[in-house]
Structure 1
């Protein structure tokens, strides 16, 4: 490591990779060694404008990237030689091959939810299991939906309120930038398996979580929506449940009474707040929709799939890099650098 900063490489400069690179660049204890990819489209052209060191991820891609005028700083091997940790943001299943490359280069590696838990033997959400990732050679930051499940159910669990949970996920059909190529129009597609994969995936982070999820894919691409029924360990008040969410990191309240009545209105709010790319890193939980009846709680929240895992990835870098042993300190540092909030309109911070 150089000057007490962990040097970070980002392999794959797409939806997640470009956001990870931006977030790394904002951290005082990290240095972006560079980014790698195999394409030469507008995303890499923008990376060049930002002054990021661009590398060809494969030998085959190097020629076309140079021919397109990209100022290449080298290849993937040269990028890894300058890094302590690499964040793999390549397409699903490509990372399994890359892991051997990273290990051979002696670089610690972070993967994302498209890969299986078995790839690393460790799955990560900062508030739940940061300590177990410290010093590891690799970890997997779980998917956007699984991250939200661990954040919210983890908050109730920490407060001693969670017995079991059952959730329904209304999933977006595609990422916005891919809407021209794929998607669902004027219909819903139920996932074939119950539980859907998010519940079992959450147990890779919190093994004793009693959770079942059902998912459908809908004809929109702004974000995901979750609705949850939770059986509490005892009768509780609505204020107690709200306090549990309020005490947890990376959960922010929204209210229908403020005009935030749908997914698109919250997405519009992020733009109005000046968020880069309109990103929402928090779980947006509707405070005025949440209801509690004895030992039963019901709530709804929104998951912005393009950005929610970014703060978790930054914390995973610190854990693997061994530069911060206190989970709360890392979370606070990440959230301050990115500008996370606990309430989008009436922030008490």
Structure 2
């Protein structure tokens, strides 16, 4: 079977990881990545020996890029013409402009959480609504927090039927290496409900959701507390079993030394994961508690890498590679090496 040809637009925090994720999929081929010029990730790409071909979104920058000894394979339009589907990881708003290029050449595309919902035919999540993405032209992924949140809620929902959730997000203020947010020593509260709760209801309209978001001056991961109300009573032990059996959820505990977000980031580095990335969310076993019928737990969201599996799912759905949801996510999980801790 011929491999699906994929391109990545925007070689930044998410784009680098998307490129690596596609390169790991044995039934996909990464044709190349596109960016605007000599960014730090592009410098690193050159120093690593150019494992991926580089295309320029701003052709006028070619001379400056080649002056740095970085080979250029063509323009963004050249890349689009060579692929079956594009993963667009550009800054919010740029993807909507790039969509015109994708439409010009009749190519499908997947956009990230920062774009507005109307950029795509389907607001997509691999586990929760895979079928809705089948054979669609344009898909949009949920944000990092929403992606991880939906994984956990969907996991319980398919067993017990979740009626509603109330969430609190303790949100990292910026990615590692970002300076534009400033150096802060403060917490900042957003108006309720936060967009993650609203987005969850868009993906899972049968669940009522609301929540509060608090920005914190940290960089390595978000933490979400969830209070879920099931239709059918579910024990802590059953919830724990469901979480443990999910390849994109890692159950940890404070007794093991996982005291918070920094512990998980350090553990990913100790595992030798590139960039200290984790594709899976973590749920602390010792935060799973019952309050009457409600069940409460806390999740860690590794914001730089958590959406990569769902992007691979989106390619599978849009290109009709697998029509069965569980078959599709299982292949993504296999090629990304997810669930190894379960063995």
TM range (shorter): over 0.9
CA–CA separation in structure 2 for the residues paired with 1:293 and 1:214? 20
Q: TM-score, normalised by structure 1?
A: 0.94
Q: Report which stretch shifted further, 181-190 or 164-173.
A: 181-190
- Find the residue that maps to 1:261 and give its secondary structure: coil
The Cα RMSD (Å) is: 1.5
* Residues paired across the two proteins, number: 341
1:168 equivalent in structure 2: 168
1:103 equivalent in structure 2: 103
Question: Residue 249 of structure 1: CA displacement?
Answer: 3.9
CA–CA separation in structure 2 for the residues paired with 1:117 and 1:245? 29
CA–CA separation in structure 2 for the residues paired with 1:210 and 1:233? 12
CA–CA separation in structure 2 for the residues paired with 1:183 and 1:256? 31
CA–CA separation in structure 1 for the residues paired with 2:116 and 2:131? 21
2:64 equivalent in structure 1: 64
Aligned partners of 2:173 and 2:217 also within 8 Å: yes
Q: TM-score, normalised by structure 2?
A: 0.95
Question: Residue 184 of structure 1: CA displacement?
Answer: 4.9
CA–CA separation in structure 2 for the residues paired with 1:43 and 1:184? 23
| Pick aligned residue for 1:198 from 196, 199, 206 | 196
2:11 equivalent in structure 1: 13
Q: Report which stretch shifted further, 45-54 or 148-157.
A: 45-54
Match runs of 1:105-120 below 5 Å = 105-120=105-120
CA–CA separation in structure 2 for the residues paired with 1:248 and 1:163? 21
CA–CA separation in structure 2 for the residues paired with 1:234 and 1:261? 32
CA–CA separation in structure 1 for the residues paired with 2:26 and 2:127? 21
Match runs of 1:1-349 below 5 Å = 4-48=2-46, 49-178=49-178, 180-191=179-190, 193-341=191-339, 347-349=341-343
Q: Structure 1: which 5+ runs fail to align? A: none
Per-residue deviation, residues 20-60 of structure 1 (Å, max 9, x unmatched) = 10111111100011010002133113323242111111223
Q: Structure 2: which 5+ runs fail to align? A: none
Shift of the 204–124 alpha-carbon distance from structure 1 to 2, 3 Å rule, reads: same
- Find the residue that maps to 2:286 and give its secondary structure: coil
- Find the residue that maps to 1:297 and give its secondary structure: strand
CA–CA separation in structure 2 for the residues paired with 1:10 and 1:297? 39
CA–CA separation in structure 1 for the residues paired with 2:184 and 2:14? 25
- Find the residue that maps to 1:159 and give its secondary structure: helix
- Find the residue that maps to 1:81 and give its secondary structure: helix
CA–CA separation in structure 1 for the residues paired with 2:342 and 2:11? 35
